[in-house]
Structure 1
Amino acid sequence: MAIAIKRLTGEALKGALNDLAQLRITVFRDWPYLYDGSLDYEAEYLARYEKADHAIIVGAFDGDTLIGAATGEPLAGELEAFKGPLIDRGFDPDNIFYMAESVLLPAYRGQGLGHRFFDEREAHARSLGYGEAIFCGVLRPEDHPMRPDGYQPLDPFWLKRGYAKLEGVTVSFPWCDVGDKVETEKPMQVWYRRL
């Protein structure tokens, strides 16, 4: 069966949040995020998309099942911890669309869906008049004990998409790692491109 890609906004977005929560818990449990998530945490975290003007979920569906998703929203509505480092560097958050998470079940990888996630979010951002886009990727030490042998970071894919690291610009976000009891702040590298 072919995978259907749908742009979800408004009520359709709200209706997909529970499935998105489950996907995030499943996919982000793996390296490099090591996220030990819960549905309660997800409900609180994802509620921001219900309130955000112009938020989007790009959903990948196998039949009626959400097997992958990518989200985005205007940076101006994000937490100060995300906006602050960019404002400090002279960027205008009112012109930047934030490409948040991308999650895809392993069985569906390598079929071009990652490109579709970026294509659809970038087109959505452009249609709203945004001229720039960012996303963040977690930074983990090379010698982290849970780093899998042979792990290949996604940097080449992101570079091919036209994004570049904003050198010296990182943000942080807390979550509980697998095996931990408390949340800790995780540094995240900011990637940027003009649309």
Structure 2
Amino acid sequence: MAELTIERYRGAALQQFIPAVAALRIEVFRAFPYLYEGNEAYEAEYLQTYVDSPGAVVVIARDGEQVVGASTGLPLAAECEEFRRPFEEAGYPVDKIFYCAESVLQPSYRGRGIGVAFFDQRIAHARETGDFDWLTFCAVQRPETHPLRPADYQPLDRFWQKRGFTQAGGLTTEFSWQDVDQPEETAKPMQFWMRQMPAGDL
């Protein structure tokens, strides 16, 4: 196995990784609970947001030259309306919140602390680039009776709680994509999790 590296990229430096990150997102998000029927053109357009947004970051995990994981983040104020609106309606100062968007990691690399490093790197980026008081992300809500839910599925709630996040009561939204077993896009309920920006070193 080659050397495993975890590094932050911003702006034009990120451009070289877009095809690999797009393919990885399609691969990983196809599994439960997202069940995402991916589209390379959409993914490339979506990831371009992280190249173009001054406050955005993508953390790349590589085994040698192979991209095996990626984690995204940007100021909530730069996110789409579906993710900003619940906070605006609840009276939060959106410009004080950093959005830890998504993390994807090939299954064979899980359990090695890379997920923890993804959070640490995004928090460090938020601390260095803005004056943020809060961190947030959201997760899809699927019923326990969902027909494609694996019998051994383990939600990530405990992992997120160990990172200091708790479910934000009343802060929910909906976002649409096409499930692998559906003919068209449908809206999915999404629950936000939040924590205060940690003080000092992580």
Match of 1:31, SS state, is coil
Structure 1 CA distance for aligned equivalents of residues 174 and 47 of structure 2: 18
Partner of 1:182: 184
**What is the aligned partner in structure 2 of residue 42 from structure 1?**
43
Residue aligned with 1:181, SS: coil
Contact (CA 8 Å) 2:10, 2:50: kept in 1 or not? no
* Counterpart for residue 162 of structure 1: 164
- Find the counterpart in structure 1 of residue 73 from structure 2: 72
Runs of 4+, deviation exceeding 4 Å: none
- Specify the code of the residue in structure 2 equivalent to 1:184: T
1:2: Cα distance to partner? 3.1
Matches within 5 A, 1:1-195: 1-128=2-129, 129-195=131-197
TM-score norm. by structure 1 comes to 0.97
8 Å CA contact 2:11–2:53 kept in 1: the answer is: no
Q: C-alpha separation between the residues in 1 aligned to 2:170 and 2:145? A: 21
Give me the whole-angstrom Cα distance separating, in 2, the residues matched to 1:2 and 1:50.
26
- What amino acid maps onto 1:157 in structure 2? F
Please give the secondary structure, in 2, of the residue aligned with 1:100. coil
Q: SS of the counterpart of 1:149? A: coil
The Cα shift of 1:47 comes to: 2.2
Distance 2:6 2:71 in 1: 11
Distance in 2 separating the partners of 1:46 and 1:8: 12
Structure 2: 5+ residue runs without aligned partners? 198-202
Letter in 1 for 2:79: E
TM-score by length of 2: 0.94
Q: How far apart, CA to CA, are the structure 2 residues paired with 1:5 and 1:45?
A: 22
CA distance in 1, matches of 2:80, 2:139: 16
Cα distance in 2 between the residues matched to 1:37 and 1:46? 13
Question: Is the Cα contact below 8 Å between 2:11 and 2:50 reproduced in 1?
Answer: no
SS in 1 for 2:23: helix
